[in-house]
Amino acid sequence: VEQGYDFGYATYWNGNIMQELSDGALQLANISDPEEFAFFKWSSESAYYEPDYANGKVFLLLSEEEYQEYRNAKVLSAGEEIYHQNGFVIFGYESNEMLLSVAQG
């Protein structure tokens, strides 16, 4: 949040808890995994998955284990690693549209 991020993506187990821990300051859309980037809409607002949902930069949050497993996913190479400690890795992207186009294109 301090770096200007308020919306991003994460796997189900990480996304929901981060949204709760931030008291709603962060909004997270759930995905199944970074490689397929399949939407996990069961517990996320459907609007989150629209390219024009977020205004400004967005992030992808991964656990260290997910990062190690999916480190070659094309979506990671398109982002900038902005955080890597305490068991988590976060990649930043210039926009939701850009992230979705790389992840699903």
Supply the DSSP string of 22-80, one letter for each residue.
TTTSSEEEEES-TTT--B-GGGS-GGGGSTTSSSS-EEEEEEHHHHHHHTT-HHHHTSE
pLDDT tens digit string along 62-79?
A: 999 999 999 999 999 999
Residue 1 has pLDDT above 80, yes or no: yes
Q: How close are the terminal C-alpha atoms of the chain, in Å? A: 28
- pTM given for the model: 0.91
Average pLDDT over residues 47-63: 91
Residues facing residue 29 across a β-bridge: 9
Rounded CA separation 86/44 (Å)? 25
The pLDDT of residue 102 is: 92
pLDDT tens digit string along 26-51?
A: 999 999 889 998 888 777 788 888 88
